[in-house]
Amino acid sequence: MSQLTDEISRRRTFAIISHPDAGKTTLTEKLLLFGGAIHIAGAVKSNKIKKTATSDWMEIEKQRGISVATSVMGFEYDGYKINILDTPGHQDFAEDTYRTLTAVDSVIIVVDVAKGVEQQTRKLMEVCRMRNTPVIIFVNKLDREGRDPFDILDELEQELHISVRPLSWPINIGAKFKGVYNIHEHSLDLFTPDKQKVTERVEIESIDDPRIDESVGETDAAKLREDLELIEGVYPAFETEEYLAGKVAPVFFGSALNTFGVKELLDCFVKIAPSPRPVEAVERKISPEEETFSGFVFKIHANMDPNHRSCIAFVKICSGKFERNAPYRHVRSGKTLKFAAPTAFMAQKKSIVDEAFPGDIVGIPDTGNFKIGDTLTTSEELHFKGLPSFSPEMFKYIENTDPMKSKQLDKGIQQLMDEGVAQLFTNQFNGRKIIGTVGQLQFEVIQYRLLHEYGAQCRWEPISLYKACWITSDDQEALEAFKRRKHQFMATDREGRDVFLADSSYVLQMAQSDFPKIRFYFSSEF
């Protein structure tokens, strides 16, 4: 038993979230560098650095310089096992990020010092607040001109509705940027720009140490002392309990691209961040220390290895120990499954694991058994709650442009829909396939991945729809009458359930008032 408790206490599982372009992927790269998982850090966009970022491994990510899928990375640091989930910032992939937030114990939010808090960051923060997830904020890009650090702190408090407490403080900013003073450990880091290596630090006793004046000059040293006095006066002392309850967010300053201020963040993070927490299931609360195994699927990624067309289900372990080749029960289907090759991830690279503990994320080869939200247990019937599903907002017909490749297209569509980023409807009137997504960018990604990963060409045709509504009724006759009346607007989803495709809000209102016995749902989980 003690082994299980030890393993749990050294696990740290967190997600990195922010608005696009704030520097999530670059920060992930630098954390991996400190963890010794990689020796040279890559960059998202760069002419001089030929290596692309580890977590952006899909071809489309390398081309566009954006992340389009959550990637999982695990490494050892200072006796702790750290699991990072690098999420896409772009709002079209928000659902992927929301689901990821269900599988982590804490969050690091990255904020660009020049732009401050942006809309997408606010939305993500709301999700964290609903779950009381502990949050650490990293203010990035201090080597560029930006706003005054105090203004940023005020903005974080107002916009994210959370109290903040700086644990490191910048000395100047932009071109005059000289370094960061670490309030948490009383040390000074001097800034030397280097994109791929690690910078040195000066250990000091207290703020009055004359070495500060030598290192940064008298004027800056005087300003630093003033600022720190002000911080101590304005902000209450940092309490770890408050942070764990999700009431206070510690703030760090630095520049991820120049590997600066990252080590302070990581050192403090492993000390204060929570180890895996109890998880709410519908039936009861599950503590990580339980002997019996349980876990849930929060993400499915199709085609990680283009040579094998394999799908992988990502399972977050909630309690007990996961073992290779042990029989586990798949709750939704009632089958007993064994997994011969569960894997741990380093973005795209995989290695087979024999055992895993609560907080870890294992990949299980999926042959069509899994859906998002499925539960695996030793024997008990459990259902984990809180995995969001979204109603699609944009719709297009998908047409095959190469009749010889229709089998590849079907396979591709089926696997990509399993990922849960888009939904497929088949129109019953003319049998055409309709894809519904949350954002425009997803259509481009689907088209690109079908061509490059499955060799199938498709084109999109416009269709004007307002909403897809799943319909059910206790009265069978009323349901049949509805289907007859609206037969050209009826479709089925992948499970064969009836879906009504309303082309305007007026049509939907009329249908709801004409057929009172029919229930309309706007997402597929009901």
CA angle centred on 8, ends 260 and 353, rounded to 5°: 85
Task: Collect all residues with Cβ–Cβ distance below 8 Å to 435 and sequence separation of at least 6.
Answer: 395, 396, 398, 413, 422, 423, 424, 425, 443, 446
Q: The tokens of 156 are what?
A: 């974080």
Q: Identify the CATH homologous superfamily for domain 394-521.
A: Peptide chain release factor 3, domain III (3.30.70.3280)
Q: Domain 279-377 maps to which CATH number in 3.40.50.300, 3.30.930.10, 3.40.50.11540, 3.40.50.720?
A: 3.40.50.300
Quote the CA–CA distance of 271 and 47 in Å, as a whole number.
Answer: 37
The mean pLDDT of the chain is: 81
Task: Collect all residues with Cβ–Cβ distance below 8 Å to 150 and sequence separation of at least 6.
Answer: 227, 230
Asked if residues 180 and 264 have their Cβ atoms less than 8 Å apart, the reply is: yes
Phi, psi of 129 (to 5 degrees): -70, -35
Task: Collect all residues with Cβ–Cβ distance below 8 Å to 11 and sequence separation of at least 6.
Answer: 80, 81, 83, 275, 276, 357, 358, 359, 360
Is beta strand 294-302 parallel, antiparallel or unpaired with respect to 375-377?
antiparallel
pLDDT in tens, 229-284: 888 888 888 888 999 888 899 999 888 887 777 888 888 888 888 888 888 888 88
Q: State the span(s) of the chain assigned CATH 3.40.50.300.
A: 13-272, 279-377
- CA dihedral over 374, 377, 382, 384, signed as positive or negative: negative
Quote the CA–CA distance of 102 and 90 in Å, as a whole number.
Answer: 18
Higher-confidence position of 125 and 60: 125
Quick one: pLDDT band at residue 461, thresholds 50, 70, 90?
very high
Residue 148 has pLDDT above 90, yes or no: no
Residue 386 has pLDDT above 70, yes or no: no
- Residue 112: what pLDDT? 87
Q: The tokens of 322 are what?
A: 């996961």
Question: What end-to-end distance do the CA atoms of the chain give, in Å?
Answer: 39
Is beta strand 322-323 parallel, antiparallel or unpaired with respect to 327-330?
unpaired
Which of 358, 382, 383, 370 has the alpha carbon at shortest distance from 314? Answer: 370
Section 349-358 average pLDDT: 81
pLDDT in tens, 299-336: 888 766 666 667 888 888 888 888 888 899 998 888 89
Single-letter residue type at 352: I
- From residue 177, how far is each of 142, 172, 174 by CA, in Å? 7, 5, 5
Residue 285 belongs to what H/E stretch?
Answer: strand 285-286
pTM of the model: 0.81
Q: State the span(s) of the chain assigned CATH 3.30.70.3280.
A: 394-521
- Residue 48: what pLDDT? 42
Residue 377 has pLDDT above 80, yes or no: yes
- Residue 217: what pLDDT? 74
Q: What is the 3-state secondary structure (H, E, C) of 251-283?
A: EEECECCCCECHHHHHHHHHHHCCCCCCEEECC
Share of the chain above pLDDT 70, in %: 83
CA angle centred on 115, ends 183 and 196, rounded to 5°: 60
Q: Identify the CATH homologous superfamily for domain 13-272.
A: P-loop containing nucleotide triphosphate hydrolases (3.40.50.300)
Residue 195 has pLDDT above 80, yes or no: no
- Residue 45: what pLDDT? 45
Of 140-154, 159-173, 249-263, 335-349, the least confident: 335-349
pLDDT in tens, 46-57: 444 445 555 554
Higher-confidence position of 55 and 217: 217
Quick one: pLDDT band at residue 198, thresholds 50, 70, 90?
low
